[in-house]
Structure 1
Amino acid sequence: MFITTKIADLVQIAPEDFSKESFVAIEDNINAKYANKVGNNIFEQAHETTHLTAVFVEFEMVVFRPFKHEVILARITHQTEEGIYLGMDFFNDIFVPAAELPDNSEL
């Protein structure tokens, strides 16, 4: 259910973060970019701003990634036509797209 993955990325530091300790500014930007993101689109979030400082970083991240057909204990918090939202002890906003639900599921 959890995996560890290595990430190498170019982190952009905005001028308003220059007053922070460098490791704090880098950590804040990594968290803003990766925390609470779902799917593969987390790498497509680029900022088109000038006057940024870019820092190449490598880090490890723990990722919540259930395997396909893995059974997890959760409660349905709400649903839409697009899918269902699940809550667990450690996450409250897990989204499961309708296309990923088992066959014969109804929304």
Structure 2
Amino acid sequence: MFILTKIADLVQISPNDFSKRSTVAIEDNINAKYSNKVIQKIGLCICLYDLLWTSEGLIGHGDGFVNVNVEFRLIVFHPFKGEVMFARISSCSPNGIHLRTDFFDDILVPFDELPDEAE
């Protein structure tokens, strides 16, 4: 259900963040960019787990941002097909069943994705 995913990206640190330690500024920017976002075929990004590698920062021309190439791991919510999850049914519509868990409030399971024995 929860996995670690390795990602490489370019992080831009704004001049407002120059007062922070570089690792803290990088971590804050990664969390702002990825936390609570869904990446297709990866899952819902929860938060940064750790930094694996960072390059030296290069100052961009004209904007003052420092560009840093980074490799990092994210904690991602990615249930696999057939995984059993405990949830409460919050409602039902022609589109499917709406479920609620401790972690999510609105999960839609389309009727065609339900197992055959659920009818």
Q: Does the TM-score normalized on the shorter chain lie above 0.5? A: yes
Structure with greater Cα Rg: 2
Distance 1:60 1:20, change over 3 A: same
The aligned residue for residue 35 of structure 2 is 35
The aligned residue for residue 85 of structure 2 is 72
- C-alpha displacement at 1:78, in angstroms? 7.2
What SS does the aligned partner of 1:50 have?
Answer: coil
Partner Cα distance (1:13, 1:81) in 2? 46
- Paired letter, 2:5: T
* Greater strand fraction, Structure 1 or Structure 2: 2
The count of aligned residue pairs is 97
Question: Where in structure 1 do 4 or more consecutive aligned residues deviate above 6 Å?
Answer: 78-85
- C-alpha displacement at 1:69, in angstroms? 3.0
- Paired letter, 2:68: V
Give TM-score scaled by structure 2 length: 0.59
Q: Is the 8 A contact 1:83 1:95 kept in 2?
A: no
In structure 2, stretches of 5+ residues that fail to align are 43-61
The aligned residue for residue 72 of structure 2 is 59
Identity %: 55
Q: Is the 8 A contact 1:10 1:55 kept in 2?
A: yes
In structure 1, stretches of 5+ residues that fail to align are 43-48
Give the aligned CA root-mean-square deviation in angstroms. 3.4
Distance 1:56 1:93, change over 3 A: farther
- C-alpha displacement at 1:75, in angstroms? 3.2
- C-alpha displacement at 1:14, in angstroms? 1.1
